Structure 1
Amino acid sequence: MTALKKYARLEASALWRGKPDDQRREVIVSIGDATLTISDMQDRAITHWSLAAIERANPGKRPAIFHPDGDPGETLEVDGSEVEMIEAIEKLRRAVERSRPRPGRVRWLGMAISVATVLAVAVFWVPGALIGHALTVVPQVKRAEIGTALLERIERMSGAACSDPAGIQALRKLRARIGTGPISLMPGAVGTSLHLPGGRILLDRALVEDYEEPDVAAGYALSEMALAQASDPLADLLDSSGTWASFQLLTTGSLDGETLDRYAEKLLTAPRALPDDGRLVDTFRTAEVRSTPYAYARDVTGETVLALIEGDPMAGGNPRPLLSDADWIRLQAICGG
């Protein structure tokens, strides 16, 4: 310690008392290697005080009175005239104090790191873990219930799904032919198409009323199925609704109405996603459906859907009919118009 070297040969006279009842004795005080040496007038050491364990009984006052840490009965009184010795002891005490470990600071630092770690886990890991667990344990029947609940909320904004009995029968035949989940024809507000948890697909009535063949409606239904296969719709619901929704679903088996209302509104207002062209062509191939009518319905110029036109898996072929002419007419009339 630099301060020790500076004061290594410093000495001063002082009054020392070993016990509260003892008489004070005149002594010589010198600074040694990490100790304060107290000697009698014949230069015989009486005691040694550790510099790391010296306390001052009267800070700022003269004469300065020091004692060992924890033993205020043993005192060393340094006269005010011994300015250099008093300043040396004080400086050494401060230097030792600064060099001591700060368990409190270390403890607070450790606590801060622990809290930060917990918060990081809560923010970055827990939400994903909860969603992942929910997707693993929530059964298909529960997903279907959530999809039905979302459909009811969408119907409040778009109107009830079209329900002409003959049209419903034709729609079921189309669904069975292309291999999708349940399909509902909506009177409006859904844009072109949507998909919900549980596999339900919503199609706008215009997709059957404004086209001459069922391939367009079938194409949009297959597009939604491809999107659902690429990204679990329940995962999107939980991710957009926050950690509480995942926790609620895992603990109660359901989602509250406010969560479903917000997500239904998001579905109707958010920009529509499009599936990967390669995946979509494969989906059309599996269903044996032409992709060209759907492609031109998306872009009448064909410029942005060239991959779907050129990659039409049924081009030059003779795919099975999607519906009979009679069923197609019934489907076009499903909304009563």
Structure 2
Amino acid sequence: MTALKKYARLEATGLWRASPDSQRREVVVSVGDATLVISDTKDQAITHWSLAAVERFNPGVMPAIYHPDGDPGETLEIDAGETEMIEAIEQLRRAVLRTRPRPGRLRWLGAALSVSAVAALMLFWLPGAMRDNTLRVVPQVKREAIGVALMDRLQRVAGPLCEDEAGLRALRTLGARLNTPKLAVVPGLTRPALHLPGGVIVLNRSVFEDWEEPDVAAGFILAELALQVERDPLATLLDAAGPWENFRLLTTGEISDSALDAYAEQLVTAEKREPDMGNLLALFESTQVRSTPYARARDITGESVLPLIEADPQAGRATDPLLADSTWLRLQSICGG
């Protein structure tokens, strides 16, 4: 410590007492190696006080009275005239105090770090963990009920469900052919197709009316099936609704009307995701549907959907038509026009 070297030769007289019952003795006080040395008048050391353990009994009052930390019975009294020694002891005490650890600060720091860790856990880990747990426990019947509730809201902007009887029979035939029984058609959807929790795929009438062959409509259906496989539709809804609605569904089995309204609006306005090309081609192969007509419907040039054309699993094969012409015609008229 630099301060120790500065006061290495400093001495002063004082009155020392070993205990409250002892006689005070005149002593010589000097600064030693990290200690305060108390000697008698014959220069014989009586005791050493660690500078780190020197306490002042009467701060700001003269004469200055010091004692070892924890033992106020042993005292050293230094007269006001020994100002240089008193200033030296005070400065050395301050220097020692600055080097001491501060448990209070460490406790506050530890508490702050703990609170931060808990907050980060709740912010980043808990919502995902709660969502995953919700997805595991919500039954299929509840998923279907949520899908129905969203379908009701979609009809407000996309029009009522198309329910021509002959067209619905044709739609069921197409669903059976693709192993996808839950199909619905509306007249004014803002995109060709979308999917809802519970497995319902909603189609716009244009996928039937604007194309000459049913393979295009089948492609839009298979694309939604691929997206459902890649990501649970209920997970997408819960991410959009937020942790509170997730908690509500987990504990009460319900989602608020406002959350469903907001998500229905998001469904028709959000940018459409495209499924993984490999997954989609696998579905075309398993259902024995040509992928080229769907690819050309998405991009007449074929540039952005080249894998669907080059890797068409039905290319070069003699395949039966996806639907009979009469069934396809009825399906094209499902919305009554």
Same fold (TM over 0.5): yes
Task: Name 1:287's counterpart in structure 2.
Answer: 287
Decide whether aligned partners of structure 1 residues 61 and 296 sit closer, same or farther in structure 2, where only a CA change above 3 A counts. same
User: For the residues of structure 1 that align with 2:16 and 2:56, how far apart are their CA atoms?
Assistant: 14
- Do the aligned partners of 1:181 and 1:199 also contact (CA within 8 Å) in 2? no
User: For the residues of structure 1 that align with 2:196 and 2:319, how far apart are their CA atoms?
Assistant: 28
TM superposition shift of 1:74: 4.6
User: For the residues of structure 2 that align with 1:310 and 1:42, how far apart are their CA atoms?
Assistant: 108
- Do the aligned partners of 2:78 and 2:86 also contact (CA within 8 Å) in 1? yes
Task: Name 1:272's counterpart in structure 2.
Answer: 272
SS in 2 for 1:41: coil
User: For the residues of structure 1 that align with 2:206 and 2:88, how far apart are their CA atoms?
Assistant: 94
TM superposition shift of 1:330: 2.1
> What is the letter of the counterpart of residue 164 of structure 1?
D
SS in 2 for 1:13: strand
Moved more, 199-208 or 128-137: 128-137
User: For the residues of structure 1 that align with 2:336 and 2:87, how far apart are their CA atoms?
Assistant: 102
TM superposition shift of 1:160: 1.7
User: For the residues of structure 1 that align with 2:129 and 2:300, how far apart are their CA atoms?
Assistant: 43
Decide whether aligned partners of structure 1 residues 58 and 181 sit closer, same or farther in structure 2, where only a CA change above 3 A counts. farther
Task: Name 2:232's counterpart in structure 1.
Answer: 232
Residues 47-126 of structure 1 aligned to structure 2 (within 5 Å): 47-72=47-72, 74-126=74-126
> What is the letter of the counterpart of residue 175 of structure 2?
R
SS in 2 for 1:263: helix
Task: Name 1:204's counterpart in structure 2.
Answer: 204
1:10 aligns with 2:29: no
- Do the aligned partners of 2:223 and 2:274 also contact (CA within 8 Å) in 1? yes
- Unaligned stretches of 5+ in structure 2? none
> What is the letter of the counterpart of residue 88 of structure 2?
A
- Do the aligned partners of 2:189 and 2:203 also contact (CA within 8 Å) in 1? no
1:165 aligns with 2:136: no
- Unaligned stretches of 5+ in structure 1? none
Task: Name 1:37's counterpart in structure 2.
Answer: 37
TM superposition shift of 1:53: 2.3
CA RMSD of aligned residues (A): 2.3
Residues 253-332 of structure 1 aligned to structure 2 (within 5 Å): 253-332=253-332
> What is the letter of the counterpart of residue 110 of structure 1?
G
Moved more, 225-234 or 298-307: 298-307
Q: Deviations over 1:209-242 (max 9, x none)?
A: 2222222211111111111112222222222222
1:192 aligns with 2:192: yes
TM superposition shift of 1:123: 2.2
Q: Deviations over 1:76-127 (max 9, x none)?
A: 3322332221122112211221221211122122212212221222222222
Task: Name 1:250's counterpart in structure 2.
Answer: 250
> What is the letter of the counterpart of residue 277 of structure 1?
M
TM-score, reference length from structure 1: 0.90
> What is the letter of the counterpart of residue 153 of structure 1?
R
TM superposition shift of 1:157: 1.8
User: For the residues of structure 2 that align with 1:332 and 1:257, how far apart are their CA atoms?
Assistant: 34
- Do the aligned partners of 2:172 and 2:181 also contact (CA within 8 Å) in 1? no
TM superposition shift of 1:43: 4.0
> What is the letter of the counterpart of residue 191 of structure 2?
G
TM superposition shift of 1:184: 0.7
SS in 2 for 1:191: coil
TM superposition shift of 1:183: 0.8
TM superposition shift of 1:293: 1.7
Moved more, 169-178 or 274-283: 274-283
User: For the residues of structure 1 that align with 2:126 and 2:205, how far apart are their CA atoms?
Assistant: 41
User: For the residues of structure 1 that align with 2:336 and 2:196, how far apart are their CA atoms?
Assistant: 25
User: For the residues of structure 1 that align with 2:278 and 2:316, how far apart are their CA atoms?
Assistant: 19
SS in 1 for 2:161: coil
Moved more, 200-209 or 99-108: 99-108
Task: Name 2:146's counterpart in structure 1.
Answer: 146
Moved more, 291-300 or 65-74: 65-74
TM superposition shift of 1:176: 0.6
> What is the letter of the counterpart of residue 326 of structure 1?
S
> What is the letter of the counterpart of residue 67 of structure 2?
H
- Do the aligned partners of 1:16 and 1:24 also contact (CA within 8 Å) in 2? yes
Decide whether aligned partners of structure 1 residues 319 and 199 sit closer, same or farther in structure 2, where only a CA change above 3 A counts. farther
Task: Name 2:219's counterpart in structure 1.
Answer: 219
User: For the residues of structure 1 that align with 2:25 and 2:72, how far apart are their CA atoms?
Assistant: 17
User: For the residues of structure 2 that align with 1:229 and 1:255, how far apart are their CA atoms?
Assistant: 23
Decide whether aligned partners of structure 1 residues 306 and 47 sit closer, same or farther in structure 2, where only a CA change above 3 A counts. closer
SS in 1 for 2:221: helix
User: For the residues of structure 1 that align with 2:18 and 2:269, how far apart are their CA atoms?
Assistant: 87
